[in-house]
Amino acid sequence: MLNQKNNIDLGDFEEKNLLKTFNWIKNKKFQKKFLFEKNISWNNHINWYENYTKDITQKIYTINVDGVYIGNVGLKNIDSLKNEAESWIYIGDKIFKGKGYAKSTYELFKIKSIKLGIIKLTANIGSFNKDSISFHEKLGFKKTSSSIDILFDKKIKILVYEINLI
């Protein structure tokens, strides 16, 4: 699927995307923003991918601009009975951040989600991640709840945002 305005294409996440993704997610600032508390090693990343390829509760797409792989967007915790899933997105390549690609990507991603039968998306966001909160609110997500979790040996407030796709 191609968006002519920004030349954005969403592709299926494949083994060839592992190295670039690993280089993005091993960054400690990235891990905190996305609430990753796990130790991320290359072996763990390979094991994660092997499990992902068998996991029907996840779907990941690569974000490509003019053929350049710049990030990922995906669904996790897909519940086909409730027709809902948790969504997430990141632009890993810094030179593409702040240029509107995430917003354009999400428009394509919503269409793909609907085709998979998903009618409601949620996003779990750390209360400190102001950029992600603002982004989701601009997309039409509404805050529905919050909870406190222990991550990085600290109490972190997790905000839950939701959007109905149809």
Total of domains in the chain: 1
Residue-wise pLDDT for 53-62, tens only, equals 999 999 999 9
The 3-class secondary structure across 87-146, one letter per residue, is EEEEECCHHHCCCCHHHHHHHHHHHHHHHCCCCEEEEEEECCCHHHHHHHHHHCCEEEEE
Residue 81 domain-assigned (yes or no): yes
Residue-wise pLDDT for 85-97, tens only, equals 999 999 998 899 8
The domain in which residue 93 lies consists of 2-121
Residue 117 domain-assigned (yes or no): yes
Residue 12 domain-assigned (yes or no): yes
Parallel/antiparallel/unpaired status of strands 120-126 and 84-91? parallel
Residue 153 domain-assigned (yes or no): no
Residue 166 domain-assigned (yes or no): no
User: In CATH, what number is assigned to the domain containing residue 98?
Assistant: 3.40.630.30
Residue 75 domain-assigned (yes or no): yes
Please give the model's pTM, rounded to 2 decimal places. 0.89
Specify the higher pLDDT residue, 34 or 48. 48
User: What is the amino acid identity at position 59?
Assistant: K
Q: For 42-56, give the DSSP string.
A: HHHHHHHHHHHTT-T
For 128-156, what is the mean pLDDT? Answer: 89
Residue 160 domain-assigned (yes or no): no
Residue 158 domain-assigned (yes or no): no
The model's confidence at residue 35, banded by pLDDT at 50, 70 and 90, is: confident
> Long-range contact list for 103-106, CB < 8 A, 24+ apart?
103/135, 103/138, 103/139, 104/3, 104/5, 104/6, 104/8, 105/8, 105/10, 105/63, 105/71, 105/73, 106/73, 106/139
